[in-house]
Amino acid sequence: MTTVIVQKEMEIPVGILVEVADLLIEHEISHKITATDADNDCITLELEYEKEEREIIHEIQDLIDDYEEEDEDGEEDDDR
């Protein structure tokens, strides 16, 4: 059976970088930094993973979504 390697770019907010790095290291997901964005406080990672490791990538995406949701809620509170 052939192993399918998937490549994906993800923008990781600096505020959750340590959590994401822990997951990548724990699950030995291959990654490299391809860009930084100081204005938006994030880095872009290129991830390479096997199809069977998708659940970890979904977990990282959930962390990003939750972080951005909390950030948006904080901005709304600041507007009041």
Residues 25-48 as b/e (b if ≥16 CB within 10 A, e otherwise) read eeeebebeeeeeeeeeebbebebe
Give the phi and the psi of residue 32 in degrees, each rounded to 5. -150, 150
What pLDDT does residue 2 have? 78
How does pLDDT run across 30-75, given as a tens digit for each residue?
A: 999 999 999 999 999 999 999 999 999 999 999 999 999 988 776 6
* Predicted confidence band of residue 78 (pLDDT cuts 50, 70, 90): low
What pLDDT does residue 79 have? 53
What pLDDT does residue 33 have? 97
Q: What's 22-41 look like in SS3? A: HHHHHCCCEEEEEEEECCCC
Tokens representing 34 are 């391809």
Structural domains present in the chain: 5-79 (3.30.70.240)
* Predicted confidence band of residue 76 (pLDDT cuts 50, 70, 90): low
